[in-house]
Amino acid sequence: MKAEIIAVGSELLTPDRLDTNSLYITGRLNRLGIAVERKTVVADEHQQLRDAFKESLSRADLVIATGGLGPTEDDLTREAISDTLGRKLALNHDVLRVIEARFRRLGRPMAERNARQAMVPEGASVLENSRGTAPGLWIETDGRVVILLPGPPHELQGIFVEQVESRLARLAGGVRLHARELRTVGVPESDLDERIAPIYKRYGDVQTTILAGLGEIQIHLRTWSKDAQAAELMLDEIVKQIALKLGESIFTVSGQSLEEIVAAELTKNRATIATAESCTGGLLAERLTRIPGSSSYFPGGVVCYSNELKTAWADVPVALIEARGAVSPEVAQALATGIRLRTGATIGMGITGIAGPGGGTPEKPVGLVYIALADAGGFKEHTGRFPADRERIRWFASQTALDMVRRYFLRTAQPQPSRSGGVQG
Amino acid sequence: MKAEIIAVGSELLTPDRLDTNSLYITGRLNRLGIAVERKTVVADEHQQLRDAFKESLSRADLVIATGGLGPTEDDLTREAISDTLGRKLALNHDVLRVIEARFRRLGRPMAERNARQAMVPEGASVLENSRGTAPGLWIETDGRVVILLPGPPHELQGIFVEQVESRLARLAGGVRLHARELRTVGVPESDLDERIAPIYKRYGDVQTTILAGLGEIQIHLRTWSKDAQAAELMLDEIVKQIALKLGESIFTVSGQSLEEIVAAELTKNRATIATAESCTGGLLAERLTRIPGSSSYFPGGVVCYSNELKTAWADVPVALIEARGAVSPEVAQALATGIRLRTGATIGMGITGIAGPGGGTPEKPVGLVYIALADAGGFKEHTGRFPADRERIRWFASQTALDMVRRYFLRTAQPQPSRSGGVQG
């Protein structure tokens, strides 16, 4: 089955707004083995809408249009599809009653124009909207299906899950998506692809996509089958082979975030972590606390931008800063050790570096960041050289710090002294 | 002039990737008075590409296609447009020499397939790419213009600015965009629109767009004219009238971020700021330090998730936490006052609240956040009730905190005691 998506809305043709609904719809369609072959963004304009419908219907088995179902005169999607298909548009009293009841429940008067949302083309079935007033519509025509959905994402997604998915599954005939999402830190993209391409190229039935994100690379494996067991076995086999090539660079095979993985390791090992950050300005603490329940492993951290506060809050010796400079491996280590002792945490993390754009020197250029992890037995230290802008330097540094914590727990089933001081990277 | 944009790339039809180049292109075209009437996303597939070109050329004066100009066999945009227009594709030796020189400069051997990027359709002019190997192409046909640009954003943007913009400006005939971008905090969207709609509706020549973002609303005013002075005067007039309605909720009329505005106020007033955060987990410190040079106004801050650290780092009395609870206006005030005294900063900010999803009670529900600002003379305190998820609760709290700092400086040209203790909001 081939699908096209039409996003309706003049605001989607400005520099400020993107159609993101199509990502959600594509994801759900792909799960049913339905590929999206074209996406179109078109204005709220009658003739243009008609043209877009006509063209898509000439090519695709399934056309999903989003937006333009609201109560105002700008909302023309219902009218356009009726005209395109030569169907009459008539007031549906059942739908009108549902809309009226919704307004009563909210204790608000229903403006007359809302009745427009109860207009239904001949022969269409109504897809009830439990989260808003505009219902979706399902229209069959010459063996093709047109689905209209409202633009607000939570309404669209509600209707899709509650009303659309099971109907489409019947049309799609029992094929289902099986997938894995591996994520890695620390291997460059070209290197990664070279190592794993010989593996995934052997599996013609599996679609492999490699996505380079900020400081991590995702490997998406997807296959469609009616035989769930065989598909899952095949995916397990590929993941196993990829794991042999990429080893512990892989931090998840099920699409979890690095923050989630680090949180799980800290929790499992009953460890706590404290942070002393300079150039990342609190980003590491912020990321550690994105996870619900993070108070169980994160007592706190300091952002010590000034040298005085590095001393006051993490006991970095004044003489050390004078001798080595605030941006130095020694100060990173002192920050990590100091905050660990101050808080009694299992692990202390220290970060100091030059986020730029100013402040770089030939010896210590913008993008140079020292990151240290201290435990009861010693410390590890990593030197990052990130050729990027301020925002990304800070992100890469926090990403590296989280990854150091993750790798730490790969070595220590339970928190133990690591005794591995010295520069790694 | 009417334009269409075609984004070429099978990866843009997956659930993982969006065409974002079209936003950049739309923004630049709009500046020249050129509207985008349709956007199409199509796979790297010869026939589908031809269809898309043919359709767009039947409607638009200008068609810009992005992507599919790389060296691999998947990259078919050059071939498709040549076929569509019935033009021969021939190797352009000048382009080939430029590509070869680029590889030499990088010290890398040039793979044979890169020569594909030197194939140029009959009659096309080459748009040099200073940041990559694939040049863009400018093709005129029957009074219409087709522009092909490579997909990587920095290459596309380089070619657009260096090669495309001036040519398009000549076609567009001297019309230019004049614009203002107002941003506000603290007024709900419906309320804001009600107050300012009577103003912007009086100016038919000015396109007004209201965009609700996370914790702020943007008002974009755009007008196109050959008469720069008249356009700028008219925009100033509208901004003045809107300012009368929205007052100090407006924090910029030129599209600056709230972080930039706060940084500018701190710098101008030679003030410094320190933070003591609980539920925001470092987000406020992180946002304050996004700005280059933030070390001049931000000595540092603490993230005190545990009650012990609230006492150890910001001198919040144990008895106060026991009596009022860690999430209370009193503890927010103590955090703000404590961190201010500890650091010697002009202003101290304290934040404590319940980011959820767990931890809420009927008296103190998820989304309740207390935010305090302390200076030498006293403190201000704000109670936020954010009905949202963890991520947005934290964002709204940091947004409110930054806005409190901004409004503080509206009252105090130079940092002065505020003596305004007590709950505001």
Domain boundary among B172, B206, B224: B172
* Strands annotated E in A185-296: 207-212, 217-225, 250-252, 273-277
pLDDT digits (tens, 9 = 90+) for A58-72: 999 999 999 999 888
What average pLDDT does this structure show over A82-87? 97
Compute the count of residue pairs across chains A and B with CB atoms less than 8 Å apart: 179
Contacts of A75 (CB under 8 A, 6+ apart): A44, A68, A69, A116
> Does B307 contact chain A (CB < 8 Å)?
no
d(CA B300, CA B288): 10
- Do A19 and A155 lie in one domain? The reply is yes
**Does residue B14 belong to any structural domain of this protein?**
yes
- Structural domain harbouring A190: 176-252
Tokens (6 digits) for A54 = 């006509």
pLDDT digits (tens, 9 = 90+) for B196-246: 999 999 998 998 888 888 899 999 999 989 999 999 999 999 999 999 999
pLDDT value of residue A209: 84
> Does A213 contact chain B (CB < 8 Å)?
no
- Do A229 and A365 lie in one domain? The reply is no
d(CA B192, CA B245): 9
Average model confidence (pLDDT) across chain B: 93
- Do A189 and A67 lie in one domain? The reply is no
- Tell which A residues from 374 to 403 touch B, by Cβ distance under 8 Å: 390-391
> Does B127 contact chain A (CB < 8 Å)?
no
What average pLDDT does this structure show over A175-182? 92
**What CATH number has the domain bearing residue B263?**
3.90.950.20
pLDDT value of residue B108: 81
What average pLDDT does this structure show over B66-94? 93
- Could you tell me which residues are beta bridge partners of residue B162? none
- Do A31 and A66 lie in one domain? The reply is yes
pLDDT confidence tier of residue B424, bands split at 50, 70 and 90: very low
Identify the residue among B11, B13, B259, B340 best suited for mutation to test binding to A, counting A beta carbons within 10 A and taking the highest. Answer: B13
pLDDT confidence tier of residue A417, bands split at 50, 70 and 90: very low
**What CATH number has the domain bearing residue A18?**
3.40.980.10
- Do B230 and B264 lie in one domain? The reply is no
Domain boundary among A194, A228, A252: A252
**Does residue B418 belong to any structural domain of this protein?**
no
**Does residue A11 belong to any structural domain of this protein?**
yes
Domain boundary among A157, A172, A187: A172
Q: In A, which residues are within 8 Å of B284 by CB distance?
A: 282
Q: Contact A64/A147 with Cβ under 8 angstroms?
A: yes
How close, in Å, is residue B278 to chain A by CA atoms? Answer: 8
**Does residue A416 belong to any structural domain of this protein?**
no
**What CATH number has the domain bearing residue A243?**
3.30.70.2860
- Tell which A residues from 44 to 63 touch B, by Cβ distance under 8 Å: 48, 51-52, 55, 59
pLDDT value of residue B214: 87
The beta-carbon neighbor of A15 closest among B23, B52, B290 is B23
What average pLDDT does this structure show over B40-52? 96
**Does residue A120 belong to any structural domain of this protein?**
yes
Helix axes A228-246, A189-200, angle to 10 degrees: 140
pLDDT at B422 over 80: no
Q: Measure CA A82 to chain center.
A: 37
Query: Which range among A207-211, A232-236, B120-124, B318-322 shows the weakest confidence by mean pLDDT?
Result: A207-211
Q: How far is CA B307 from CA A33, B2, B195, B352, in A?
A: 52, 61, 44, 11
pLDDT digits (tens, 9 = 90+) for A364-400: 999 999 999 999 999 999 999 998 899 999 999 999 9
The beta-carbon neighbor of A309 closest among B12, B299, B308 is B299
- Could you tell me which residues are beta bridge partners of residue B129? none
- Do A383 and A361 lie in one domain? The reply is yes
For chain A, give the percent of residues with pLDDT over 70: 97
Query: Does the distance separating the beta carbons of A282 and B286 come in below 8 Å?
Result: yes
What average pLDDT does this structure show over B289-301? 97
Q: Measure CA A174 to chain center.
A: 28
> Does A35 contact chain B (CB < 8 Å)?
yes
pLDDT digits (tens, 9 = 90+) for A104-129: 888 888 888 888 999 999 999 999 99
Q: In A, which residues are within 8 Å of B209 by CB distance?
A: 11, 14, 16
Identify the residue among A6, A48, A306 best suited for mutation to test binding to B, counting B beta carbons within 10 A and taking the highest. Answer: A306
Count helices and strands in chain B by DSSP H and E runs: 14, 17
**Does residue A424 belong to any structural domain of this protein?**
no
pLDDT value of residue B110: 85
pLDDT value of residue A201: 92
d(CA A340, CA A162): 50
pLDDT confidence tier of residue B413, bands split at 50, 70 and 90: low
- Could you tell me which residues are beta bridge partners of residue B149? B66
**Does residue B166 belong to any structural domain of this protein?**
yes
Q: Contact A62/A144 with Cβ under 8 angstroms?
A: yes
Tokens (6 digits) for A71 = 């109560």
Contacts of B274 (CB under 8 A, 6+ apart): B298, B299, B300, B301, B339, B340, B342, B343, B345, B347, B348, B349
Average model confidence (pLDDT) across chain A: 93
Domains: count for chain B: 3
- Do A111 and A126 lie in one domain? The reply is yes
- Do A230 and A317 lie in one domain? The reply is no
CA angle, residues B218, A18, B10, in degrees to nearest 5: 160
Token pair 């710090």 is at which residue? A401
pLDDT at A268 over 50: yes
* Strands annotated E in A16-87: 35-42, 62-66
**Does residue B58 belong to any structural domain of this protein?**
yes
pLDDT digits (tens, 9 = 90+) for B153-203: 999 999 999 999 999 999 888 888 899 999 999 888 778 988 999 999 999
What average pLDDT does this structure show over B381-397? 94
Q: In A, which residues are within 8 Å of B357 by CB distance?
A: 292
pLDDT at A423 over 60: no
- Do A235 and A288 lie in one domain? The reply is no
d(CA A238, CA A146): 37
Query: Does the distance separating the beta carbons of B209 and A16 come in below 8 Å?
Result: yes
pLDDT confidence tier of residue B74, bands split at 50, 70 and 90: confident
Identify the residue among A2, A4, A10, A14 best suited for mutation to test binding to B, counting B beta carbons within 10 A and taking the highest. Answer: A14
User: Does the interface ipTM go beyond 0.90?
Assistant: no
What average pLDDT does this structure show over A131-160? 95
- Do A297 and A219 lie in one domain? The reply is no
Q: In A, which residues are within 8 Å of B289 by CB distance?
A: 281-282, 303, 305
The beta-carbon neighbor of A303 closest among B12, B55, B301 is B301
Nearest to B346 by CA among B418, B265, B285, B274: B274
- Do A276 and A345 lie in one domain? The reply is yes
- Do A211 and A281 lie in one domain? The reply is no
What average pLDDT does this structure show over B82-96? 96
